[in-house]
Every structure is written in structure tokens, then in C-alpha cells.
């Protein structure tokens, strides 16, 4: 055997690729779902007599989550996760003004 002792076997490499693919799909799906939820909440709050800051916060949070979905689809799952957290926090702050 001429390979290095710390080299990965083909099955380990395939498992890592599957895990990375699953992380990309999860980040993309969660970002898309949170984007739709934020846009729906923004649309519903536009019809209520709420302050203008509330629908704007939901829309901004949805935009951040959409950016996270794009980054997640490109393999930037760590950044996508942090952006998802930030987007949900922006939406939560907007909900507190309601």
C-alpha cells in the first residue's frame, strides 16, 4: 500500500460529499421557507393599522433569509446559517413593535 495512512477511503469521501450536499439543501430550503414566511407576514401586516416599521422589518428579515438561501445553495452553509439567524432576529424585532 503506497497511500498515506491518514488518507480517506473512497467511501469516506462519498459520505462527506453526501453530508455537504445535505447541508446545502437544508440551508437553501430553510432560507426559502423563512423568506416566504417573512414576505407573507409583511403582506399581512401591511393591511393592519400597525406602524410602518413592522412590515418593513419583516420584509428586511425576508431579504436577509433570501440571501442566506442563495449562499446556502452555493455551499456557503456557515454564512447562510448566521444570516438565517440574523433574518429571524430582524423579524422578531419587527414583531415586538406590533
Domain residue ranges of the chain, discontinuous segments joined by +: 26-96
> Does pLDDT of 9 surpass 60?
yes
C-alpha cell at 12: 469516506
Q: 30-58: per-residue pLDDT in tens? A: 999 999 999 999 999 888 887 889 999 99
Threshold 0.85, pTM exceeds:
no
Q: Count of alpha carbons within 13 Å of 91, Cβ hemisphere only?
A: 23
Confidence of residue 80 (pLDDT cuts 50, 70, 90): very high
Average pLDDT of 66-83? 93
Residues 6+ apart with CB under 8 A from 48: 54
Amino acid at each position: 500500500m503506497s497511500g498515506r495512512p491518514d488518507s480517506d477511503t473512497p467511501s469516506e469521501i462519498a459520505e462527506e460529499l453526501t453530508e455537504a450536499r445535505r447541508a446545502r439543501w437544508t440551508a437553501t430550503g430553510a432560507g426559502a421557507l423563512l423568506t416566504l414566511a417573512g414576505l407573507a407576514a409583511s403582506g399581512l401586516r401591511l393591511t393592519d393599522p400597525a406602524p410602518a416599521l413592522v412590515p418593513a422589518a419583516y420584509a428586511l428579515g425576508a431579504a436577509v433569509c433570501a440571501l442566506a438561501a442563495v449562499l446556502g445553495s452555493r455551499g456557503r452553509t456557515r454564512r447562510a446559517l448566521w444570516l438565517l439567524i440574523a433574518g429571524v432576529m430582524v423579524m422578531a424585532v419587527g414583531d415586538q413593535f406590533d
